[in-house]
Chain A
Amino acid sequence: MLSAKKLYKSFDSNHVLKNLSIDFPLGKIIMIIGSNGSGKSTLLNCLSRTTEIDRGKINNNGFRTFFLSDKDNVVGNLTIKDNLKIITSLYETDFNCEVFNKYVKQLNLNEQLDKQLKNLSRGNLQKNKMLMALCTNWDYLLLDEPFSNLDDDSICTQKELIKKFKSENKTVIFSTHNHHLFKEIADATYLIQSGSIQNVI
């Protein structure tokens, strides 16, 4: 499983994570909550190894992580398909046109296929992030604020897709401020406060 042991991370004098330890088992949906600046994004960055930790250890035990930060995660001049082809090649996944078309339809992105990604709306870019997760092989999906800028229907679709991941014995770890909206799908909720983490549900 993915685990973090005695994790420390600070930015100058701001100690964001202090002696944080946590295990993430497979096949779970895990919600991370906390106030602004509490360290939710920093934890996800550390788990995905995009940020170097000051002290401690992160062990993925050979499981693959896929991190979608709160940014758009695209190359602006490419189309949805070209961008996805680049991502799938990095994550050792064969690009499957059939799977791609199926999820494009489900996420209602058909009309966006010919557009450059920089011209897509914030909501459609958020859907594109889920499309990338659907078309790539991973064991742990780390999502930073995945439901921002989405309408109610799209949020429902995303919830269903996250449940689908769980049914495939994959783990989704996501951060959010709207925990009341997603507590029904989460198996565990963790609160980050003052640099440490605690299980609240």
Chain B
Amino acid sequence: MLFSLIKNEIIIEVKSSFNLFYISFFALSSLILLFFSMPLTFLNDPNILSSFFWIIISFSSIKVVENSFAREKEFGIYDLIYSSPVYGHLFFLSKLLVFTFVLLIIEFLIFLFYSLLNPMISISDLTILFPLFLISNISIISLAIIIYLITSSERIKSFLFPLIFFPLLTPILINSSRIFTNTYIDDNISNLPSIMILLSYSLISVILGVQFFSTLIKK
């Protein structure tokens, strides 16, 4: 059933009015803004490149999650999907996997742009950074889904989604950025405390999502 749900999410994502294109366009626009707003020497600073990278990813994650639920709510298929006999946690996992993949595509595009911008960054670094992207994306998306569902309930105003999401996201962004910078300098992933924090975050957020998705969706 999980594969079937993943297939459904992909079909909806692909056929939804260039959704992926809009998000990629947003990511690239932010990069171009960075390129034109900073002196060229700053663009060699791994800290700046890394922080921009994760800020763009966090904004993109909000759009990916919001668009997905908005599509389901727009023409009212939401009730039909979530009243089906499928277990709630399978919906959560299917969304998590598909959106993680969407973020990976965006990360690849940003990285491609970085490699054009800075000769010290090469595409081959992607293989080293792939586990970091994967773990960070899982944490970010799980958290985004949980916070979106909490803030989209009848009693809470939806503008609170980014307001609650960003403070909770900060530890993920700081540690992802730290690992990203270290990798840029040392050419390998070597920051154990940050890796452990990221792993704990992703594990906790996935467990919370699996446990509470069904309850939150009915609110």
Contact = CB atoms under 8 A, between A and B. Distances in A.
Asked if A pairs with B, the answer is: yes
Contact of B83 (A48, A83, A118): A48
B219 A52 contact: yes
Interface string A80-101: 0011011101111000000000
Interface residues on A, range: 20 to 34
B207 interface: no
B125 interface: no
B79 A73 contact: yes
B76 A78 contact: no
A118 B75 contact: yes
Given A75-B12, A75-B72, A78-B15, A87 B4 contact: no
Interface residues of B, number: 27
B8 A73 contact: no
Contacts of B79: 45, 48, 50, 67, 69, 71, 73
Interface in B142-175: 154
A164 interface: no
Interface string B69-99: 0011011110111111110000000000000
Interface string B1-15: 000110110011001
A89 B218 contact: no
Nearest to B14: A77
Contact of B11 (A64, A82, A92): A82
Nearest to B84: A90
A74 interface: yes
B83 A77 contact: no
B17 interface: yes
A52 B15 CA distance: 32
A66 B86 CA distance: 12
B16 interface: yes
Given A52-B218, A78-B12, A82-B15, A71 B75 contact: yes
A11 B12 CA distance: 32
Interface of A: 11, 45, 48-52, 64-78, 82-83, 85-87, 89-92, 117-118, 132
17 contacts: A52-B218, A64-B85, A72-B75, A72-B77, A73-B80, A78-B15, A85-B11, A86-B8, A86-B11, A87-B80, A89-B4, A89-B7, A90-B8, A90-B84, A91-B84, A118-B75, A132-B80
